Structure 1
Amino acid sequence: MKISSLLAMLGGALLAAQSWAAPQFIADLDILSFDGTELDANLLVPDSPPPAGGYPTVLFTNSWVLDKHQYLLQAEALAENGYLVMSYSTRGFGQSGGLVDVAGDNSIADVGVLIDWLESNYPVGRLGLAGISYGAGVSLLGAAADPRVDAVAALSGWSDVVEGLYPNDTVNLVWGTLLVNTAFNREPIVDRVWSDLRSGRNIDGVIEFGAARSALGFVDALNANNTAVLLSNNFADYLFKPNSMTDLYTLLDGPKKLLLNPGTHAITETLGGNDGHIWATSFRWFDHHLKGEDNGIDSEPKVDMTVRISNRLEQFEDFPVTQNSSRWYLHPRLTRFNSAGMKESPYSGWRWRNEFHGGADTAAGTGIPLISDALEGFGIPVYTSMAAINGYYAIEYSGPVQWSTLKIRGTPTLDLWIEPSKPEVQLQLHLYDTGPLGLGRLITHAPITLHDAAVGEEQKISVEFFTTSYDVPPGHRVTLAIDTEGAIYQKPADTRYQIRMPYRRGLDSKLTLPHL
């Protein structure tokens, strides 16, 4: 064998060995933050020399309760692709010191300290932040605070803390209790704010606490930094609903991408749901904005929306995805045993009034808390018998039969005239896809609580349902079901009230459905 051929073979073997060599994994790093708090982190260093501008770098932030080990699979995949990757436990979680402050000033300052440490010890190029849930919120706020952050992947995050825990002035009891009681090392202010929210005291203070922790209030900084922001949220996420994230998305001026998926909070991303589309897109986002790869993600449609139940992916140029809508007006029911109606023309008959009562839950709802929401990501919807809703404790309105598929895309809204019998009342609003046999599949829902209503007076409320993507099949109807209690929400202290629904010319209650 010629010497040149032998050298070529050896060279090829060395190159192959290098390409399969694992990145260096540093399992335990204790990094002192600005106030002496120890932050527990791990690090993956590529087994390749840094590019001229330094390693593309990603800093992963843990979800609530979890720690630095959460993203090992994703971190390894990035490191094998040439990224320097750090994962850390936020203060109060894992082996990190300090107390949980709900993405407060200390936690955001920690992000800057970790970036400083990376830059002091390694050649850092363009840098991105990523995380699920709590990690997503911290990533967005960290990017707003530090212009060194070039890109963000915020998955199942929030842009408005108060909207998550107090949607339409309604206490999100199940999720709020779960969060507070699982943060064992928390700052006292967390308990104080949760107590105030549950009791209805010092709501201005609650809002102030939330505003300082909500990216929606720091959008100018994200725009000034020209941060490339990827947002991903799930339709059945009843903690951090898509609505506030779509609000943030529309205000961003820089590079942006929005993913809207079936499933509930954090489960879709954690279990690799949506056929892996969320993480694959996040990696492509970083490849383009941190590595400079021309992979086409910057020229693709900005909005990826996956249809509920069918899990079919659709892409749109922007959000809102459609300007088309149908407007259906509410018409009265004649007795408690008949459904009311929704029609394309306003009610113009005699003055009429329906009523229903608080004090009991009905078959209308979001299913088993947490469990039903998670199953939806796997194409298993929440079903209910529509015949079990209408009556003394609820009212339902049946829309017209759809002779072709009604492709609901976006945020339905409801303008509703009511006459409450007490100053504090709650309404749980549900939209169902009702088949010919009277079985309904939940499309979306929304709560609303009035804490100082004008008793005995006609008044209009306007409510946004949670953003959705749903196909109503031919032969089915959209049904609006309204009752006064929901399994995941805190009820008013006194549930013995009546809700009267007035109907007359010029007093139009209407449902607006955006659709393709």
Structure 2
Amino acid sequence: MRTSLALAVSAALVAGTALGLAPTAQAADTSIRFVDIAGDGGTVLKANVVTPAGGDSAARYPVIVLPTSWAVPQVEYLAQAQKLADSGYVVVSYNSRGFWQSGGEIETAGPKDIADASKVIDWALANTPSDPDHVGMAGVSYGAGISLLAAANDPRIKAVAALSGWADLIESIYSGRTQHLQAAALLGGAGYLTGRPGPELKQILGDFLSSNLAKEEDMIAWGRKRSAVEQLDRINANGAAIMLGNAWGDTIFPPNQYASFYEKLTGPKRLEFRPGDHATAEATGLLGLPNDTWTSAHRWFDHYLKGADNGIDREQPVRLKPRSDAGYEGYPDWKSLDANRLKFDLGGTQRIWANVDSGANGGVVMLSNLLDQFFQAPPVASIPLLPRAFAGVWQSERYDAPQRVRGTVKVHTTVSSTEESGTLVAYLYDVGPLGLGKLVSNAPYTFHDRTPGQPFGVDLELFSTAYDVPAGHRLALVVDTVDPLYIEHNPTGAQLTFSSPTADPSYVSVPLRAE
């Protein structure tokens, strides 16, 4: 990767500071200071503290702790910290260990990172006018992951806003048992450029990118230790109010894993999905500009830390913004999106050669879905021109009325391979009258240790989305074997055959918004 989102955000924050979009000195109504905080084992964490100015010297305020994103310096949250302090919060933001000027090595939300979060809370309660009964945590990306894990381990945390983060690290960058190449390379490169990866991270990253399957169980165990879903019982027992926010096109932490985690939470909860890619839904807010995600986060904290009767607890808790000009939609829960499904058959038998990119792909990490967010310009492919030797193609009928896709598209098919291992990538396209397909969603699937020539069933969930298919268009499922986003496992000369047995028909199941 030539650059990274983390570095781009860092540059934007520095530029924003210079332009006055983020505070660099004491603001009119708040006090800002930079401090060193002793984290786990005495490791120095570089931090900044923003407190409400004036008022009763004996007053206590709710406190919000903000761990920084992966590879982003400690100025990341200053604009939001000032807004929060202006409305009566103490805010402590700190650079996660191993990055920039903080000490230690990158632990990737390991035990030391979680212990650091509690140490920062300890420090805030001892050194600021913080109320120990009203503690919150929030963060973007890496900060979101740490916040969720901290909520499982520190019962003092009463509310969390986890934005563009992960609840299941394995399902994020190893979904479908397929390495998400560009996502892992982006994170690894940014980590080496801005921090000090520890030996464990170096080993895991090396094994992951080199497809060292002998170490697969070790990689999975490492990821599970860093996944909030594995500590769900503790999160539910502690009862923190959890707000989750993400983008439909997040190429680092896809939305499916957040939606699944949300459904398993038993305390106060909220789920918000918007157009964009990783952390792009929150980016303008980091520069102090109006931002829907941060507005929701502030309302969340106002209610659950201040007790404000702002109505957020009475709203539909699942809030979705489609990838169009349409406004927000509310739902009582995530599973309600499954109530109305449309199926189309994947009939017949199609055989394709592996190892060749057909031209159908999921785009470029961080770029393609950013273009979709601002210009409604997703990756495209000419469906009639896709080479059938390298891509299986099935199309639905033309729809007389718009089809409002909401949720997770599911694919069921039967596959046989000439080799014991292989990778396939499924794409769902919105196809217009001239055959141009706009990408609706995609997902990879990798298999190993299969008997050559022996058919086996595949059930694949594409990445969740909210997309409006216009009247007169149709849907198309395309399957090929190569995508630059992923590492593929197709031996040279391999062929994949897709069939639809009478006893087990193949199909695509599309969740539609009920009108």
- Tell me, yes or no, whether TM beats 0.5: yes
1:167 is displaced (CA, Å) by 1.1
Post-superposition offset of 1:390:
4.2
**Structure 1 residues 502-511 or 181-190, which shifts more?**
502-511
Higher mean C-alpha deviation, range 298-307 or range 446-455: 446-455
Partner of 2:76 in structure 1? Answer: 70
Counterpart of 1:354 in structure 2 is 350
Match of 1:189 among 197, 200, 212: 200
Matched-pair contact (CA < 8 Å) for 1:149–1:227: yes
1:212 is the counterpart of 2:225: yes
Q: 1:453-501: CA deviations, max 9, x gaps?
A: 2210111010111011111111000100010011110122624210112
**Which deviations, in whole Å up to 9, do the C-alpha atoms of 1:233-281 show, x marking residues without a partner?**
1111121011111111001111000001111011121134997211110
Aligned mate of 1:330, from 346, 350, 368: 346
TM-score by length of 1: 0.89
Counterpart residue number, 2:110: 104
Matched letter for residue 291 of structure 2: G
Shift of 1:38: 0.5
The residue identity in structure 1 corresponding to 2:370 is: A
| Equivalent pair of 1:58/1:85 in contact (CA under 8 Å) | yes
Residue 25 (1) aligns with residue 36 (2): no
Render the CA deviation track for 1:198-229: whole Å, top value 9, x for unaligned: 22222111111111100001111111111000
Match of 1:368? 364
Distance in 2 of aligned mates of 1:369 and 1:280? 27
Separation (CA, whole Å) in 2 of partners of 1:112 and 1:471: 44
CA distance in 1, matches of 2:371, 2:351: 34
Find 1:137's aligned residue among 130, 145, 149: 145
Task: Say if 1:116 and 1:393 are closer, same or farther in 2 by CA, change over 3 A.
Answer: same
Among 458, 463, 467, the alignment partner of 1:466 is 463
Report Cα offsets for 1:151-175 as digits up to 9, x if no partner: 0000000011111221111011111
Kindly name which structure, 1 or 2, has the bigger radius of gyration based on alpha carbons.
1
Identity of aligned residues (%): 36
Change (3 A) 1:224 1:48: farther
Q: Report the Cα distance in structure 2 between the residues aligned to 1:190 and 1:398, rounded to whole angstroms.
A: 43
Query: For 2:281, what is the secondary structure of its paired residue?
Result: helix
Unmatched segments (≥5 aa) in structure 1: 1-19, 333-352
| Aligned 8 A contact 1:48 1:82 in 2 | no
Contact kept, 8 Å, 1:46 with 1:84, in 2: the verdict is yes
Contact 2:481/2:490, CA 8 A, preserved across alignment: no
Which amino acid in 2 is paired with 1:138?
I
Distance 1:360 1:151, change over 3 A: same
Q: CA 1:112–1:369 in 2, change beyond 3 Å: closer, same or farther?
A: closer
Alpha-carbon spacing, 1:264–1:256, altered in 2? closer, same or farther (3 Å) = same
Partner of 2:484: 487
State which drifts further: 481-490 or 387-396: 387-396
1:276 aligns with 2:283: no
**Alignment-mate amino acid for residue 194 of structure 1:** L
Q: 1:348 is matched with which residue?
A: none
**2:512 pairs with one of 506, 510, 515:** 515
Indicate which of 66, 91, 94 corresponds to 1:88: 94
User: Quick one: which amino acid aligns to residue 299 of structure 1?
Assistant: R
**Number of the residue aligned with 1:297:** 312
TM-score by length of structure 2 reads 0.90
2:322/2:468 contact within 8 Å kept: yes
User: CA-to-partner distance for each residue in 1:168-198, whole Å, 9 max, x for gaps?
Assistant: 1101111101211221301111121122222
CA distance in 2, matches of 1:133, 1:78: 20
CA shift digits 1:349-382 (9 cap, x unpaired)? xxxx321111210121112332112111112222
Q: Which moved more, 1:256-265 or 1:273-282?
A: 273-282
Q: How many residues align?
A: 476
**Structure 1 residue ranges (4+ consecutive) displaced by more than 4 angstroms after TM superposition:** 50-53, 272-275
Preserved CA contact (<8 Å) 1:327 1:510:
yes
**Structure 2 residue 165 is the aligned partner of structure 1 residue 157:** yes
1:176 aligns with 2:184: yes
State the distance in 1 between where 2:173 and 2:57 align: 44
Q: Contact (CA 8 Å) 2:159, 2:242: kept in 1 or not?
A: yes
**Counterparts of 1:293-442 in structure 2 under 5 Å?**
293-322=308-337, 323-332=339-348, 353-378=349-374, 379-442=376-439
Deviation at 1:311, TM superposition (A): 5.0
**Is 2:493 aligned against 1:499?**
no
Structure 2 gaps, min length 5: 1-26
Residue 257 (1) aligns with residue 270 (2): yes
Distance 1:50 1:202 in 2: 58
Structure 1 residues 276 and 354: CA distance shift in structure 2, 3 A: same
- Relative to structure 1, the CA distance from residue 22 to residue 492 in structure 2 (aligned partners, 3 Å threshold; closer, same or farther) is same
Please give the secondary structure, in 2, of the residue aligned with 1:257: strand
CA-to-partner distance for each residue in 1:6-52, whole Å, 9 max, x for gaps? xxxxxxxxxxxxxx9421111x2111123121010000110143698
User: Counterparts of 1:312 and 1:482 in 2: how far apart (Å)?
Assistant: 32
1:262, 1:295 → 2: CA distance?
A: 26
Q: 1:114 and 2:120 equivalent? A: yes
